Structure 1
């Protein structure tokens, strides 16, 4: 059983991004997803990040909820 935490900090770490509060805030301020673009197709992801996001959503994995939260944050 997977008991790891799946929150925004852990997601940023999983994606290889700066997962400090300042790093997360900066990413959200500087990364915007256009209307009609799926989160995994955002231009700022590298291939591995986009694949992880797409696979997680496709499989409805434990990461899906926090990815949805990030998606909302990047569209605000």
Structure 2
């Protein structure tokens, strides 16, 4: 059982993306703002596996849900 605390860095690692602060900042800047009518997991820049992970994390209200919501908020600004 994974009992580690999830944050943006660990989320990006889980998604197979560069997870240092600068890379996360660059990713958010490149893909923001996400239009309000597009759910985070449905954004066109995710792979199918990434989209599925995000959707599942939110639907299951998993340990990842809070940090996925944090990413979603960052992507809306």
What TM-score range do you get, normalising by the shorter chain? over 0.9
TM-score, normalising length: structure 1: 0.95
> Is 1:22 the counterpart of 2:22 in the alignment?
yes
RMSD value, Cα:
0.9
Partner of 2:67: 66
Partner of 1:40: 41
Question: CA–CA distance in 2 between the matches of 1:39 and 1:58?
Answer: 13
Post-superposition offset of 1:46: 0.5
TM-score, normalising length: structure 2: 0.94
Question: CA–CA distance in 2 between the matches of 1:70 and 1:51?
Answer: 15
Post-superposition offset of 1:40: 0.6
Cα deviations by residue, 1:2-49 (Å, 9 ceiling, x for unpaired): 311211100000001110111001001001211111111011100000
Give aligned pairs, total: 76
In structure 2, list runs of 5 or more residues that go unmatched.
Answer: none
- Provide runs of 4+ in structure 1 moved above 6 Å: none
